[in-house]
């Protein structure tokens, strides 16, 4: 991934995507395009992982494939798997270099440095569900071969540690491109992700890039994109009449005191195409007769990135009790506080004092609302808020560190959060995601790299350096131990069991792995003297 002078053809293709790509329509999601063919492939588990089929590329026009399918499916000898293999193919040029073998002499830090090249992708043409973007990008790895939104920020931390600023620059430009094209940043550049976003870390990416190419010029350049993202999250806020008759719409919620906070949401109420069978099974088991609400809540949880966790369940042991869209999440609102603050700071740079004051006031109001509604005095911790019931949700989660990360917490609240982290969340391998062990991947006993980073930074912000250092060292030790036994950087870790290998969820444990690499590299390099 060393920076090189790219051939003119590459520059031309990139320019074409930037210009004509804005004008071209994107294909519909595979479930909408393929209809019964899609449903049958997923229902019969032609592939063990539902994401496999939605990522395949049609060999010819979709209408022709559907027409042929409708003609031949009645044949008693019809073989669905054979039909799919003849009409679809996998776009995976990176597999041509699957001979990548780690040197036994490599330490994990060297391994991460070498992995960036293996995780780099380029796609400047729409292929099936994969949406073209102008610049190269780094993917998480495993089944995830797209530019995922919140993953990318933590990946960028590692790219920055290794000096790959041109890659960070390209990835940020890809997101600005998607914002111009779609009006927001989707979960990833796939057509089946175009109805939802993910935790809004774009302003963090802009500020990170600014540390290299100049903070003021970078913030000013990306101000239009930040404003567009903000409008996406705040859409519908002006139409909320009051907190009783219409408390919520889209991604906005009017709180009892009139403040506007946000929730995770999705623009569709159907099963997720990449997990269609699992979502249908969940809805069938649920007591809730409103299946569309179940599908919406599953999708909204996917937008949160925490798919899935007891955080979104009324009954901690039952995904069928999911009610994500009734919840005001503390992490989302802290990230939007930072977006408002960054926009205000940018207007201040531009000498636009009225607009700077406006957005700083938005940020102050949001911070006060977070401290009012997301602080639980009984738990002495920041919690998600159930706006239907008018109280905190029942589950304490690691999302409660975000007010420290964003600087929203008071000094007393930060002290209590630090005490709770040390008492209940800190395990031998790092911080556990929740205090519930129910088989979901975002619950105990798992720990995930991005939340370790958020907690460490948050604690440092308030002066709790000793606890932050303890979390950091335990997490590094966990990562290095699994590397010593498996020679891989994996997606999630068990911070309780001695194996340290995470589990749970809808799919097998993934290796690669983008944000693990990024957080590990950033933390590890803090201990490496600069020569």
Element (H, E) at 260: strand 260-262
Sheet with strand 248-249: strands edge to edge = 248-249, 252-254, 260-262
Contact status, residue 162 vs residue 170, Cβ threshold 8 Å: no
Helix (H, G, I), strand (E, B) or coil at 177: helix
- Of 341, 344, 340, residue with least CA distance to 230: 340
E-strand spans in 73-216? 88-89, 120-121, 137-138
Query: 308 CB contacts (<8 Å, ≥6 apart)?
Result: 298, 301, 319, 322, 440, 441, 442, 505, 506
The yes-or-no answer on residue 307 being catalytic is yes
Single out the catalytic residue among 126, 146, 303, 491: 491
Helix (H, G, I), strand (E, B) or coil at 12: helix
Kind of pairing between the strands at 375-376 and 381-382: antiparallel
Helix (H, G, I), strand (E, B) or coil at 168: helix
102 burial via Cβ count (<10 Å: 0-12, 13-18, 19+) = middle
Element (H, E) at 391: strand 391-392
Contact status, residue 263 vs residue 329, Cβ threshold 8 Å: yes
Angle subtended at Cα 459 by Cα 457 and Cα 462, rounded to the nearest 5 degrees: 110
E-strand spans in 405-501? 426-427, 430-431, 446-447, 493-494
The yes-or-no answer on residue 491 being catalytic is yes
Contact status, residue 490 vs residue 481, Cβ threshold 8 Å: no
Single out the catalytic residue among 307, 326, 331, 384: 307
Contact status, residue 501 vs residue 486, Cβ threshold 8 Å: yes
Extract the tokens encoding 251. 């991604």
Contact status, residue 132 vs residue 178, Cβ threshold 8 Å: no
For residue 405, give Cα distances in angstroms to 232, 338, 455: 23, 10, 7
Q: What b/e string do you get for 245-276 counting C-beta neighbours within 10 Å, with b at 16 or more?
A: eebbbbbbbbbeeebbbbbbbbebbbbbbbbb
Distance, in Å, from the CA atom of 416 to the CA atom of 404, rounded to the nearest integer, reads 11
Catalytic residues: 307, 491
């Amino acid at each position: 991934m060393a920076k090189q002078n790219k051939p003119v053809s590459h520059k031309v293709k990139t320019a074409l995507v930037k210009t004509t790509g804005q004008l071209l329509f994107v294909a519909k999601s595979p479930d909408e395009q393929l209809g019964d063919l899609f449903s049958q492939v997923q229902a019969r588990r032609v592939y063990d992982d539902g994401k496999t089929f939605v990522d395949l590329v049609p060999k010819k026009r979709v209408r022709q494939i559907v027409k042929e399918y409708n003609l031949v499916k009645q044949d008693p000898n019809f073989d669905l798997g054979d039909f799919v293999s003849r009409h679809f193919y996998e776009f995976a040029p990176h597999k041509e270099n699957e001979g990548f073998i780690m040197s036994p002499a490599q330490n994990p830090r060297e391994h991460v440095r070498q992995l960036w090249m293996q995780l780099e992708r380029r796609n400047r043409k729409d292929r099936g569900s994969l949406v073209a973007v102008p610049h190269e990008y780094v993917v998480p790895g495993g089944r995830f071969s797209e530019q995922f939104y919140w993953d990318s920020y933590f990946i960028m931390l590692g790219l920055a540690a290794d000096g790959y600023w041109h890659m960070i620059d390209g990835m940020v430009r890809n997101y600005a491109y998607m914002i111009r094209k779609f009006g927001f940043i989707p979960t990833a550049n796939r057509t089946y992700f175009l109805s939802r976003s993910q935790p809004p870390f774009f302003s963090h990416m802009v500020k990170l890039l600014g540390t290299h190419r100049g903070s003021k010029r970078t913030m000013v350049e990306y101000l239009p994109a930040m404003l567009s993202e903000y409008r996406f999250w705040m859409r519908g806020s002006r139409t909320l009449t009051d907190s009783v008759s219409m408390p919520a719409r889209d991604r906005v919620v009017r709180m009892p005191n009139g403040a506007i906070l946000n929730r995770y949401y999705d623009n569709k109420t159907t099963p997720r195409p990449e997990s269609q069978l699992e979502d249908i099974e969940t809805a069938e088991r649920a007591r809730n007769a409103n299946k569309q609400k179940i599908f919406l809540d599953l999708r909204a949880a996917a937008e949160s990135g925490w798919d899935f966790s007891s955080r979104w369940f009324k009954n901690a042991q039952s995904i069928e009790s999911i009610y994500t869209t009734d919840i005001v999440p503390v992490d989302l609102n802290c990230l939007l506080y930072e977006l408002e603050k960054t926009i205000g700071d940018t207007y201040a740079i531009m000498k636009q004092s009225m607009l700077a004051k406006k957005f700083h006031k938005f940020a102050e109001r949001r911070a006060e609302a977070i401290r009012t509604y997301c602080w639980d005095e009984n738990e002495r911790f920041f919690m998600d808020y159930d706006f239907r019931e008018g109280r905190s949700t029942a589950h304490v989660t690691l999302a409660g560190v975000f007010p420290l990360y964003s600087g929203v917490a008071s000094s007393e609240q930060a002290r209590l959060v630090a005490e709770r982290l040390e008492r209940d969340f800190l395990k031998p391998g790092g911080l556990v995601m929740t205090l519930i062990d129910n088989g979901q991947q975002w619950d105990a006993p798992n720990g995930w790299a991005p939340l370790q980073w958020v907690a460490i930074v948050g604690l440092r912000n308030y002066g709790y350096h000793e606890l932050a250092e303890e979390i950091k060292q335990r997490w590094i030790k966990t990562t290095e131990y699994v590397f010593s036994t498996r020679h891989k950087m994996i997606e999630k870790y068990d911070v309780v069991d001695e194996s340290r290998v995470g589990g749970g969820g809808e799919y097998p444990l993934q290796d690669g792995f983008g944000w693990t690499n990024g957080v590990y590299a950033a933390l590890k390099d803090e201990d490496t003297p600069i020569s």
